[in-house]
Structure 1
């Protein structure tokens, strides 16, 4: 249950700092993972981003202060919960509660409350989750790299999805496929030549690297690409069922969600800062995905 304890310690830090600065790196540190990993994990488990959860909690507490402190100034509450001006606070407050901050003082006014989350183990259905554990020696991948902020801000392309979109449109993905060479022997013949990998090296605070990649082999052409060595790891590998293209988004999201909510909390493993692969392929003339997570025994 160490995983649960660490996740709740991370939320303890958030709660303790709702009226101050919340460092995303510190949140992740409490959970013993990277900022990128924690935010992805949080979103898949809760169906809300960490930033949105923090916003909801702050505005919940702000409403309580306005209700109970009749002499409290709106600007003081705004500044306390991280808003630079009464205007930005009023806009956010209205978006959540549907009323202005001043109206929150009225008797009988309807407000929304978002309580603090806690992570617990729950018993769900007995649907099988296919996976395998494999240990692999180090290997190299090369490809088209972007470094992205965990909050989605920054220079274009702002997301891995945009990087894919641009790289497909300008022909870079096709060129990478042509330069890939043969697949290494530890890769299933059902998988394609071009895949994706993230979190394979340290970048600046609250950023993560993502690469559209191919595996380096003897026949690979690597000039002009970013080359990365992936250390030896134990991998938890989760295959999908074959699916049509229009089910791709639902399929990969379900795999991620089940890894974080069903397998990881009870497996006796923990995810490590090493790498995370999205492997794409074809099986039975349909699309096929494998997710690879670097893990270690707890």
Structure 2
């Protein structure tokens, strides 16, 4: 089963269960990946979060029912699409459509419709996708790790970005860099000493691990840190151009989108183990980032 078929199987499941409970674990199972990976892929490809897409589809169908079934009560439609009360339903409905549910039954009223998403191969522009494929032996990284929820709930830091900010502020990033030691030979010697690694182990359907890490070498001091072993893998690596610090967020988002939307669907590879590395460095006196994705031939 190819990438497109897996993604569309997941969309079929969601469409059939809009008037019921959508289990994200089942969505991910049909796409042959984890819940965290599916939500990331979906948002990078479509520019909308999975939760927002589901909300829009539910409220699109709710509006159609209000218009086409005068006998149906607003409270019944609200409950059908997962809202606990008419008040919460009316608030969400008005936020999307700009009118109340009762007004939706008026003749000639304007409503919004968000159609079902289908994944297709499309012909786009001729922009080059810069990448390289490398096979690396097993290696180790060590550092500070936290487990985050996919919905970014919980106490701060509740995102990797906040984790980085806090660790810079309290000096932990600098301390880790001082303990990193020499860079291994398979890493560019222009790389910094502290990087990020994501989804390197299973922490449950609704969570994912993230570590601020350094590559372990013979001169590293790993005392007090978590250490993980990354098995021998084939990696597809997407490098950035030299950039300023304030351009990092947009650059990383673009690289993820190039991987998920442009490269992966037609490459003949699939992502494995979901391990992702963000390797930071210098280039032309500025800064750079490489995204490493573990892949294998289909």
TM-score range, shorter chain: over 0.9
- Identify which range, 161-170 or 127-136, moves more after superposition: 127-136
| Corresponding residue number in structure 2 for 1:64 | 64
Q: Give the conservation status (yes or no) of the 8 Å contact 1:276–1:293.
A: yes
Q: Tell me which residue corresponds to 1:153.
A: 153
Structure 1 gaps of 5+ residues are none
Please show how residues 97-116 of structure 1 align to structure 2 within 5 Å.
Answer: 97-116=97-116
Shift, 1:232, TM fit? 1.2
The separation in 2 between residues aligned to 1:2 and 1:15, in whole angstroms, is 20
Contact 1:34-1:273 within 8 A present in 2 as well: no
d(CA) in 2 for partners of 1:86 and 1:143? 48
SS in structure 1 of the partner of residue 213 of structure 2: strand
3-state SS of 1:214 partner? strand
TM-score by length of 1: 0.98
**Unaligned residue ranges in structure 2 (runs of 5+):** none
Give, in whole Å, the separation in 1 of the partners of 2:51 and 2:128. Answer: 32
Is 1:216 the equivalent of 2:210? no
Alignment of 1:37-116 (within 5 A): 37-116=37-116
Structure 1 residue aligned with 2:124? 124
Q: Which runs of 4+ in 1 moved over 3 A?
A: none
* Secondary structure, counterpart of 1:64 in structure 2: helix
Give the secondary-structure state (helix, strand or coil) at the position aligned to 1:189.
coil
User: C-alpha deviations, 1:119-168, integer Å up to 9, x for none?
Assistant: 11111122221111111111111111111111111232111111111111
Distance in 2 separating the partners of 1:204 and 1:120:
30
Q: Distance in 2 between matches of 1:252 and 1:162?
A: 16
Distance 1:199 1:37 in 2: 9
CA distance in structure 2 between the aligned counterparts of 1:246 and 1:17, rounded to whole angstroms? 41
CA distance, structure 1, for counterparts of residue 38 and residue 126 of structure 2: 27
1:1-298 equivalent positions in 2, closer than 5 A: 2-298=2-298
Which piece of structure 1 moves more, 227-236 or 241-250? 241-250
What displacement does 1:274 show?
Answer: 4.1
For normalisation by structure 2, the TM-score amounts to 0.98
Q: Which moved more, 1:1-10 or 1:180-189?
A: 1-10
